[in-house]
């Protein structure tokens, strides 16, 4: 039986004001000790707000969050001792060197001079930043800055690490490096909650995934489980030259047995089908008038799961 380390119950956040926004709408989550948990959703789904509440920066409108048994709202300072946070943007202290960013972080967490110094040196080595220890954050590339942010977040040995969109703005190589860092930390036993809107990131890193949209959880489980429950269908993504008469074509396709939906969008048509036998020629035939430019077919993967659940592409 795995121990749960983060419990989120009926979490809600409403931003009042001119435009009332329900950013998070009754989310329940439980993280098991030592797992990597991916919160997957498009921009504006409520991922960052959820992390903000779990990391004491945003006050929930209602609901409860416990981390390692500590009520985050009632005892924020104590909760912060057990969590490390890598925010979406580079928040490194620009007035301090790389070494000092780590050193003073340790001091904020009540370590003495000797301990803080030793820990900072250890982290600089571990994250291959020792050569640049006297540089300032402004001199770092995005990938290095991100690495330092992760080092800083774990400097006080937290139980849970929150990574908010960790690969946003990283080049592919830095992204791979970041993934391997997260996997190494995972091996050391830290629990990780990461938000992302990259399918492959969620798929590659996470033990379990929750899909979130409009502040609500739509599905939760391992990548395989989600694919087996929701992803039996195949998605045909059509790019068309013209959208004239597209409704007629979509109607024709909807009438085919095994076709679940056929929805026009700004570049063409998206067809979700359960049975694919013999469908391809029918699709080509039906869209003859519109001029088929490109077609992508996707079997059961997270992307199809996502489209099925939210009715839209992550990039829409």
Partner 1 sequence: MISRKQCFTSFLGLMGRDLRVMRRELMPFLLRVGMQPLLFLFVFTTVLPRVSGGNPMGGGNFGQILLPGLMAVAIMFTGIASVALPLSTEFGITREIDDRVMGPIPVWLVGVEKLVFSALQCIVAAALVIPMAYYIPARPVVPDLTRWPLLLLVLLLASFLSSSIGLVIGSKVNPKQIGLVFSIVLVPITFLGSVYYPWAQLDSMRALQYAVLINPIVYMCEGLRAAITPAVPSMPWWISVPALAASLYLIGRWGIQSFVKRVIS
The number of beta carbons lying within 10 Å of the beta carbon of residue 291 is: 12
Longest CA pairwise span in the chain (Å): 75
Do the Cβ atoms of 138 and 94 come closer than 8 Å? Answer: yes
The four Cα atoms 48, 51, 55, 61 give a dihedral, to 10 degrees, of: 90
Residue 210 pairs with which residues in a beta bridge?
39, 220
Site string for partner 1, 180-209 (x = CB under 8 A): ------------------------------
Residues 271 and 284: their CA atoms lie apart, in Å, by 12
* Binds partner 1 by CB under 8 A, chosen from 93, 171, 184, 244: 93
Site string for partner 1, 141-180 (x = CB under 8 A): -----------x----------------------------
The four Cα atoms 247, 253, 259, 263 give a dihedral, to 10 degrees, of: -20
**Of 256, 250, 231, 232, nearest to 290 (Cα)?**
250
Place of tokens 């954050």: 137
Interaction of residue 66 with partner 1, rule CB under 8 A: no
10 vs 91, beta carbon nearer partner 1: 91
2 vs 75, beta carbon nearer partner 1: 75
Site string for partner 1, 202-241 (x = CB under 8 A): ----------------------------------------
59 vs 248, beta carbon nearer partner 1: 59
* Binds partner 1 by CB under 8 A, chosen from 32, 64, 107, 117: 107
> Where does this chain bind partner 1 (CB under 8 A)?
52, 55-59, 75-78, 80-81, 85, 87, 89-96, 100-101, 104-110, 112, 152
């Amino acid at each position: 039986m795995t121990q749960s380390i983060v419990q989120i119950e009926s979490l809600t956040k409403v931003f009042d004001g001119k435009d009332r926004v329900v950013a998070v709408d009754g989310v329940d989550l439980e993280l098991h000790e030592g797992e990597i948990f991916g919160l997957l959703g498009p921009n504006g789904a409520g991922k960052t707000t959820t992390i903000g509440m779990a990391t004491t920066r945003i006050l929930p409108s209602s609901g409860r969050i416990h981390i390692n048994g500590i009520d985050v709202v009632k005892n924020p300072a104590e909760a912060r001792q057990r969590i490390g946070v890598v925010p979406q943007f580079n928040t490194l202290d620009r007035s301090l060197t790389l070494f000092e960013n780590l050193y003073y972080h340790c001091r904020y967490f009540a370590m003495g001079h000797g301990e803080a110094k030793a820990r900072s040196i250890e982290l600089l080595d571990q994250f291959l930043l020792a050569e640049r220890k006297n540089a300032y954050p402004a001199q770092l590339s995005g990938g290095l800055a991100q690495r330092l942010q992760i080092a800083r977040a774990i400097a006080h040995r937290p139980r849970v690490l929150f990574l908010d969109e960790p690969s946003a703005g990283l080049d592919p190589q830095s992204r791979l490096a970041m993934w391997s860092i997260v996997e190494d930390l995972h091996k050391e036993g830290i629990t990780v909650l990461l938000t992302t809107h990259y399918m492959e990131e969620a798929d590659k890193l996470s033990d379990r995934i929750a899909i979130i949209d409009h502040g609500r959880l739509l599905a939760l489980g391992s990548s395989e489980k989600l694919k087996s429950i929701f992803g039996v269908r195949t998605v045909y993504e059509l790019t068309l030259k013209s959208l004239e008469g597209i409704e007629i074509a979509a109607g024709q396709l909807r009438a085919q047995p095994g076709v679940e939906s056929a929805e026009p969008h700004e570049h063409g048509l998206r067809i979700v089908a359960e049975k694919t036998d013999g469908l391809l020629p029918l699709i080509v035939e039906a869209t003859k008038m519109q001029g088929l430019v490109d077609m992508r077919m996707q079997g059961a993967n997270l992307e199809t799961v996502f489209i099925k659940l939210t009715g839209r592409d992550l990039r829409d």
